[in-house]
């Protein structure tokens, strides 16, 4: 009876692991579309921003820390020391026939304190190194690009804030192959990233419940992964901003 050797088993495992790896776009050309959904050009994407390999451990640490830092610890209950009143003993210790008590704010009394209830003193914030946050952003952008969920738009060019114009632009972009869900999803459909501070465009999109607006310099892994699509306006300027962040991250690595 033939039995596979250890080396043959290792080769099978290596071939299976390589076949399951996701392909990452390294320096590929991306198409640029107009707000009417028509192709108007192309550009080459930098590898250090859109060609970073996926890292499960890194993304988990960064996303969990960002969610913890955004957590608002609102729930708070009063214990017997926080409830007003109850400083006097309700009745004397002996001779009344009733159970002994020292305060009407005891947790077993109506109107008393709460035992082991939630308190807002607990701190959930977690610190994460700056270079880890920066790399996690590039990992998220690379995954979005490899999944075909990033759309580059030359300019929305809204002269004045108009929600109707913004909805029309989203419907036009939904005609691009692979972005059909833009017209169907009612929540977290797209994150629109602006390279410049376009007040008219931002106000045009802010009334749409399924679209969120953000500046490119404020992009973070949680926002990128929290939306189905990422729409980047003015991609040339946006990529310059992202490349500057990548260069700063590389400088931090050399310093450390």
**Residue 246 has what pLDDT?**
87
Asked if 152 and 192 count as a contact pair (C-beta separation under 8 A), the reply is: no
Task: Please state the rounded mean pLDDT for residues 196-221.
Answer: 89
Provide the token pair at 42.
Answer: 């192309």
CA distance 211 to 205: 7
CA distance 14 to 220: 34
Q: Specify burial of residue 231 (Cβ count, 10 A radius: 0-12, 13-18, 19+).
A: buried
Higher-pLDDT residue of 185, 248? 185
Q: What is the CA radius of gyration of the chain?
A: 28
- Tokens 């008590």 sit at which residue? 101
Task: Please state the rounded mean pLDDT for residues 192-196.
Answer: 90
**Residue 147 has what pLDDT?**
94
CA distance 228 to 170: 13
Vertex 140: Cα angle to 134 and 143 (nearest 5):
145
Neighbours of 229 (CB within 10 A): 24
- Tokens 């999803």 sit at which residue? 185
Tell me: the pLDDT tens digits for 18-55? 433 333 334 578 999 999 999 999 999 999 999 999 99
Sheet architecture: strand order including 29-33: 39-44, 29-33, 150-153, 229-233, 190-194, 211-215
Tell me: the pLDDT tens digits for 136-146? 999 999 999 99
Give residue 119's pLDDT band: very low, low, confident or very high (50, 70, 90).
Answer: very high
pLDDT at 4 over 70: no
Percent of the chain with pLDDT over 70: 87
**Residue 5 has what pLDDT?**
55
Provide the token pair at 70.
Answer: 């955004």
The HSE-up count of residue 220 (CA atoms within 13 Å, CB side) is: 12
pLDDT at 204 over 50: yes
What does pLDDT average to over the chain?
A: 86
CA distance 132 to 129: 5
CA distance 151 to 31: 8
Q: Which helix (H) or strand (E) holds 30?
A: strand 29-33
Give residue 247's pLDDT band: very low, low, confident or very high (50, 70, 90).
Answer: confident
pLDDT at 17 over 50: no
Give residue 249's pLDDT band: very low, low, confident or very high (50, 70, 90).
Answer: confident
pLDDT at 77 over 60: yes
**Residue 229 has what pLDDT?**
96
Task: Please state the rounded mean pLDDT for residues 175-196.
Answer: 90
CA distance 111 to 107: 8
Q: 25-64+129-255: which CATH topology? A: Ribosomal Protein L4; Chain: A; (3.40.1370)
Asked if 199 and 238 count as a contact pair (C-beta separation under 8 A), the reply is: no
The residues spanned by each domain of the chain are 25-64+129-255, 72-123
Q: Which of 44-58, 94-108, 184-198 has the lowest mean pLDDT?
A: 184-198
Asked if 77 and 55 count as a contact pair (C-beta separation under 8 A), the reply is: no
Q: Which of 45-49, 95-99, 124-128, 194-198 has the lowest mean pLDDT?
A: 194-198
């Amino acid at each position: 009876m033939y039995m596979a050797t250890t080396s043959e088993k290792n080769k099978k495992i290596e071939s299976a692991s390589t076949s399951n790896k996701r392909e990452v776009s390294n320096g590929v050309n991306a198409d640029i579309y107009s707000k009417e959904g028509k192709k108007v050009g192309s550009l080459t994407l930098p590898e250090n921003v859109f060609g970073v390999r996926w890292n499960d451990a890194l993304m988990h640490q960064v996303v969990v820390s960002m969610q913890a830092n955004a957590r608002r610890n609102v729930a708070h209950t009063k214990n017997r020391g926080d409830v007003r009143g109850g400083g006097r003993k309700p009745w004397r210790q002996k001779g009344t026939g009733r159970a002994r008590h020292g305060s009407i704010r005891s947790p077993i009394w109506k109107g008393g304190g709460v035992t082991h209830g939630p308190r807002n003193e607990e701190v959930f914030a977690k610190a994460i190194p700056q270079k880890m946050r920066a790399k996690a952003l590039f990992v998220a952008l690379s995954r979005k690009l490899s999944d075909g969920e990033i759309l580059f738009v030359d300019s929305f060019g809204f002269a004045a804030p108009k929600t109707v114009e913004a909805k029309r632009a989203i419907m036009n972009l939904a005609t691009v192959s692979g972005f059909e869900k833009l017209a169907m999803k009612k929540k977290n459909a797209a994150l629109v990233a602006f390279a410049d501070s376009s007040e008219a465009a931002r106000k045009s999109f802010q009334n749409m419940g399924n679209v969120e607006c953000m500046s490119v310099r404020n992009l973070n892994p949680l926002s990128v992964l929290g939306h189905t699509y990422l729409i980047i306006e003015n991609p040339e300027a946006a990529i310059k901003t992202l490349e500057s962040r990548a260069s700063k991250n590389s400088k931090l690595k050399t310093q450390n």
